[in-house]
Amino acid sequence: MSSNLPTICITGGEPTGIAPDIILKALQQNFNAHIVVLSSKKVLEERAKALNIKTNIIQHSAEDARSPHKAGEIHLLALEHEHAVIPGKLDKQHSPYVLKTLELAAEGCLTGQFDAIVTPPVHKGVLCETGIHFSGHTEFFQQKCNSEQVVMMLATEGLKVALATTHLPLKDVSSAITKESLTQVIEALNKDLKTRFGHQRPRILVCGLNPHAGEDGHLGMEEIETIIPVLDTLKKQGMDLVGPLPADTLFSPKNLENCDCVLAMYHDQGLPVLKYKGFGNAVNITLGLPIIRTSVDHGTALELAGTGDANEGSLIIAINHAIEMANNAKKFPK
């Protein structure tokens, strides 16, 4: 037992999807951290019965935080949710419960009750049906933490990809990339690669926005007018930045050999490569927050809910990354 163990909070996710399945399956192994699940006891018990998973659900107490997670146990901070959950069938009546788990997780991290949050998938569409605009976990935690700039980063073995913009229509990307916003993104990325991953001087490869990185202005002016001036300024401050590089050749083994992270300009520029390389074995990380948050790299997979076929691999990786980042936060304080 160690009182220095990080406490990791796992939110309940979309109850009609695979979130309960992968929580139950992932926690069938030991972790060198204390794990707390924010969920409905009824939801977990019903899904455990459907999957024939034996688990010992324990009401969480402060004393529990001294002990590492034991396989087959779930330390639960229970939320009441009596509305019937039918695996695979979305229902907006679950949305207030889902949002409450996220709110309590954020509050717990901000007050020091938890050292990190791990989020299984939620369904953006059904959350929005309640009249609350929900564009993603990243933006939700940004608002809850009053953070000016956050960075979405996905990581798998041998590759980290961060995004200069997140969930935007493609037509809005160019106008969203300003000198100010790009500077803030790179500063947040560089800082958290140091403090949460232990890179003393992170080497970041930066994608151009346009084909061939604009080809000297013939295919677009964003590189010349925005990206290059920002990179030049930050290089003078000591950052190790390379680019802007054409995205179609940046992801070659030679380029990635000595790279700590790639910064892509928009969602579908960088993430298809990352997910091709490591889908199911990748983790989504939000940087630039005063708290640590990791997530799975997949969606709710409604068709797999309750079948036993959901793969818990990404959740296990997300938990392990959260533990590593929480430990690094103690070694490399901001």
pLDDT (0 to 100) of residue 153: 94
Helices and strands (H, E) in the chain, number of each type: 13, 12
- The β-bridge relationship of strands 56-59 and 203-207 is unpaired
Read off the pLDDT band of 167 (50, 70, 90): confident
pLDDT (0 to 100) of residue 138: 85
**Is the pLDDT assigned to residue 195 strictly greater than 60?**
yes
Residues 115 and 5 in one domain: yes
How crowded is residue 52: how many other Cβ atoms within 10 Å of its Cβ? 7
Average pLDDT, the chain: 92
Residues 262 and 333 in one domain: no
Alpha-helical segments (H) within the chain: 19-26, 41-51, 95-110, 124-128, 137-144, 173-176, 179-195, 222, 228-236, 247-250, 253-256, 267-278, 313-331
pTM here is 0.87
pLDDT (0 to 100) of residue 133: 79
pLDDT (0 to 100) of residue 18: 96
Residues 102 and 85 in one domain: yes
pLDDT (0 to 100) of residue 188: 94
Write the pLDDT tens digit of every residue in 90-101: 999 999 999 999
Closest CA relative to residue 249, chosen from 213, 204, 225, 214: 213
Residues 233 and 323 in one domain: no
**Is the pLDDT assigned to residue 2 strictly greater than 50?**
no
**Is the pLDDT assigned to residue 187 strictly greater than 70?**
yes
DSSP letters of 170-196? GGGHHHH--HHHHHHHHHHHHHHHHHT
**Is the pLDDT assigned to residue 169 strictly greater than 70?**
yes
Residues 254 and 329 in one domain: no
User: CA 128 to CA 189: how far, in whole Å?
Assistant: 29
Read off the pLDDT band of 65 (50, 70, 90): low
pLDDT (0 to 100) of residue 125: 86
- The β-bridge relationship of strands 293-296 and 283-287 is antiparallel
Q: Any idea what the Cα angle at residue 144 is, between residues 163 and 4, rounded to 5°?
A: 90
Read off the pLDDT band of 181 (50, 70, 90): very high
Residues 215 and 274 in one domain: yes
End-to-end CA distance of the chain: 27
Residues 184 and 250 in one domain: yes
**Is the pLDDT assigned to residue 135 strictly greater than 80?**
no
Domain that holds residue 223: 152-283
Residues 249 and 299 in one domain: no
Question: Which is higher by pLDDT, 329 or 301?
Answer: 301
User: CA 49 to CA 47: how far, in whole Å?
Assistant: 5
The domain spanning residue 248 has which CATH number?
Answer: 3.40.718.10
Task: Identify the weakest region by mean pLDDT among 49-53, 143-147, 230-234.
Answer: 143-147
pLDDT (0 to 100) of residue 1: 35
DSSP state of 69: B
**Is the pLDDT assigned to residue 22 strictly greater than 60?**
yes
Residues 223 and 310 in one domain: no
Residues 261 and 293 in one domain: no
* Mean pLDDT across 217-244: 97
pLDDT (0 to 100) of residue 332: 65
Question: Which is higher by pLDDT, 4 or 154?
Answer: 154
Question: Which is higher by pLDDT, 17 or 67?
Answer: 17
Residues 135 and 161 in one domain: no
Provide the b/e sequence for 122-131 (b: ≥16 CB within 10 Å).
bbbebbeeee
* Mean pLDDT across 254-263: 94
Domain count of the fold of the chain = 2
User: CA 38 to CA 284: how far, in whole Å?
Assistant: 19
Closest CA relative to residue 213, chosen from 153, 181, 255: 255
**Is the pLDDT assigned to residue 190 strictly greater than 90?**
yes
Closest CA relative to residue 159, chosen from 322, 275, 292: 275
* Mean pLDDT across 311-320: 94
Residues 303 and 334 in one domain: yes
Three-state secondary structure readout of 261-276: EEEECCHHHHHHHHHH
